[in-house]
Amino acid sequence: MIEYIRADYKSHKLRMLAECVGMVLSVAVALLLAVTTPNPPMLYAYIGWNLASSLLMTCSFHRGSVGLGTMYLVFLVIDTVGLVRTIL
């Protein structure tokens, strides 16, 4: 596993950085919701989810993973609808 991570980092540094940022954002939003329940700041949550989904979707398609990329695309659409409804 370590060798795979090393090889991936050497071949695609920017993609790996974007994937790590996307994963950290997802975990940060989950923590934000857990800490601020029952009234979480959904505007910040949706912005975080949209950024994370955008990064992870782009990286998934770059890797050639259509299934994972499509899943993150669906998450992005759902979270964009939530963001718009929160703003309006």
Per-residue model confidence as pLDDT tens for the chain (88 residues)? 899 889 988 999 999 999 999 999 999 999 999 999 999 999 999 999 999 999 999 999 999 999 999 999 999 999 999 999 999 9
**What is the domain range of residue 65?**
2-87
Q: Which residues, at least 6 apart from 44, have a Cβ–Cβ distance to it below 8 Å?
A: 29, 32
Tally of structural domains, the chain:
1
Q: Record the pTM.
A: 0.89
Question: What separation, in Å, do the N-terminal and C-terminal C-alpha atoms of the chain show?
Answer: 46
CA nearest 19: which of 5, 3, 30?
A: 5
